[in-house]
Amino acid sequence: MDFVIEQRTVILEGFWMTVRLTVLSGVLSLLFGTVLAVMRVCPIPPLRWAGAFYVTVVRNTPLTLVFVFSTFGLPRLEIRFSFVTFAIIALTVYTSSFVCEVVRSGINSVAAGEIEAARAIGLPFGQTLGQVVLPQAFRAVIPPLTSVFIALTKNTSIAVAFSVAEATSILRRLQNQDASATFPLLLTTAAGYIVLTLFLSFSFSRLERRVAVAR
Amino acid sequence: MTVALYDAPGPRSRRRVLIGSALGALVLLAVVGVVVWRLSDTGQFRSIFWEPFTRSGVQRILLRGLGATLRAAGVALVLAIALGLLLAVGRLSERRLLRQASGVVVEFFRALPLVLLIFFAFLGLPQLGIDIGAFGALVIGLTLYNGSVLAEIFRAGINAVPRGQTEAAYSIGLRKGAVTRLILIPQAVRTMLPTIVSQLVVLLKDSALGFIVAYPELLRSGRRIYTNIGNVIPTAIVVATIYILINLALSQIASWLERRQRGERRRHDEVPVEISTGQL
């Protein structure tokens, strides 16, 4: 345990990286996932097909393989970024497909009367979606989105194999330095992840209550 | 989707949709074009990168990798179902201590990253003098995580069995253990079969984490190929295709099972159970 206390700044820096990965790829996948969801429900067939194709391909590919694509594949196309950026790309590509499906189910859950009313007063597709459907859809999907973001937090740990110094790679590195501290290190890291996911679900359930509308 | 978000198009909007389709197709083609241009510009289509996949040696590496993936996923699935049933029955037990203990176990394993669970087995167990190797670590990690997820699925399934079933079982003199074993679990497994098969997709995808602990599963075998030949992208495309085809087949089976059950329910006029597929 002494070793863990001694190395606390290193461990905390690792979790700071985990938080950064989670927040950045979380925001990006929320944006991209919503775009994909809109593509999947829009009246233009090619965009619908493209959205469906993307989701089918990405959802059935292991995240580790997406990481291989971005970290080792992109440099072969002479696209060079830092390892952190590659990790964010991989996590965003993967998580967007899940966000897309969640948002789409939210769109489908909006009451039929709302959509019919919006169309009856003459709103075109863009406004029906933007002014009427999406605001309600997002409120409805906060709980499933929370699960997606918790999964994202846990998924950042895959970056351990792709040269990103997040919490799990710090664990791996420190364990290499002092194998006798294996269990304290494992348990500390586990506690860190539990704190992060609890914080996430706590803040999202607060958000849910704040934006709730009496219906 | 039950409600169309847009009206049935008249002549003008039909024209607009047509123009939009053309523009959308153009944008998509441009995206595909840029990707293909990058790929060909950096020589990813050269035959030295693709020809190896026709050689039997390379094919054998991939097949052996696929076998290792299926073995890890299969063993983990069997163990996870067993663990999941135990934890589900534990959480529904009448003994408070057992109920709470199972609850804590389920929540703990679901809250941790799978990589960390694998490291618990991979780095932790050798410290206790138990060496289980990469396969063992991967299987233990997959079992603990998926066992806890399945426990919640089974619990929902057991709760969805109509109460009359339990009451009838008690009234013909079965004991509690027999009611669980003979009446509740078989029906719970049946209702939850589609969800269990969907979870299998998750398990198969997660088995690619064997990559991290150097277990020679499909992705790791791919690594062996691309570190030798230097064809990262072609290998990744081939490996991804294999994963996608297997997972699509599994999803098809899951939705077929679900359709079949819905048909049965309609015949028996039961209330359909709400099943959530949390596959991440």
Q: Give me the long-range contacts of B233-240 (CB less than 8 A, separation at least 24).
A: B233/A69, B233/A73, B233/A76, B233/A77, B233/B39, B233/B44, B233/B49, B234/B44, B234/B49, B234/B50, B234/B53, B236/A65, B236/A68, B236/A69, B236/A72, B236/A73, B238/B53, B238/B62, B239/A65, B239/B62, B240/A57, B240/A61, B240/A65, B240/A69
Whether residue B9 is predicted with pLDDT greater than 80 in this model: the reply is: no
Per-residue confidence at B279, pLDDT binned at 50, 70, 90?
very low
Which residue of A lies nearest to B31 if distances are taken between CA atoms?
A50
> What is the residue whose two structure tokens read 């079965």?
B174
Does B212 touch chain A if contact means CB atoms closer than 8 Å?
Answer: yes
Q: Residues of B with CB below 8 A from A69's CB?
A: 233, 236, 240
Q: Chain A, 139-168: which have a CB under 8 Å from a chain B CB? A: 147-148, 151, 153-158, 160-161, 168
Q: Residues of A with CB below 8 A from B223's CB?
A: 68
| Alpha carbon distance B237, A214 (integer Å) | 49
Asked if B127 lies within 8 A of A182 by C-beta distance, the reply is: yes
Whether residue B162 is predicted with pLDDT greater than 80 in this model: the reply is: yes
Options 1.10.3720.10, 3.40.50.2000, 3.10.110.10, 3.40.50.300; which CATH number does B50-268 get? 1.10.3720.10
Q: Exposed, middle or buried, B259 (CB in 10 Å: 0-12/13-18/19+)?
A: exposed
Report the residue of B232, B250, B255, B275 to disrupt the A interface, i.e. the one with the largest count of A CBs within 10 Å.
B232
Per-residue confidence at A62, pLDDT binned at 50, 70, 90?
very high
pLDDT of residue B266: 61
For B187-212, the pLDDT digits (tens) are 998 888 888 888 899 999 999 999 99
pLDDT of residue B265: 62
pLDDT of residue B121: 93
Whether residue B272 is predicted with pLDDT greater than 50 in this model: the reply is: no
Q: What is the mean pLDDT of residues A14-28?
A: 96
Q: Exposed, middle or buried, B30 (CB in 10 Å: 0-12/13-18/19+)?
A: exposed
Residue B8 DSSP code: P
Does B272 touch chain A if contact means CB atoms closer than 8 Å?
Answer: no
Q: What is the mean pLDDT of residues A100-108?
A: 93
Per-residue confidence at B268, pLDDT binned at 50, 70, 90?
low
| Alpha carbon distance A80, B111 (integer Å) | 34
Asked if B113 lies within 8 A of A193 by C-beta distance, the reply is: yes
Whether residue B271 is predicted with pLDDT greater than 50 in this model: the reply is: no
Single pTM value for the model = 0.89
For A115-141, the pLDDT digits (tens) are 889 988 988 888 989 999 999 999 889
Q: What is the mean pLDDT of chain B?
A: 88
Of B17, B120, B211, the CB nearest to A43: B17
User: Which sequence spans correspond to the domains of chain B?
Assistant: 50-268
Per-residue confidence at B277, pLDDT binned at 50, 70, 90?
very low
Asked if B124 lies within 8 A of A183 by C-beta distance, the reply is: yes
Does A183 touch chain B if contact means CB atoms closer than 8 Å?
Answer: yes
Check if the beta carbon of residue B205 is closer than 8 Å to that of residue A62.
Answer: yes
Whether residue A24 is predicted with pLDDT greater than 70 in this model: the reply is: yes
* Domains assigned to chain A: 2-211 (1.10.3720.10)
Task: Please state, in angstroms and as integers, the Cα–Cα distance from residue B104 to each residue in B21, B49, B92, B108, following that order.
Answer: 53, 50, 13, 6
pLDDT of residue B1: 46
Whether residue A157 is predicted with pLDDT greater than 80 in this model: the reply is: yes
ipTM (interface predicted TM) = 0.90
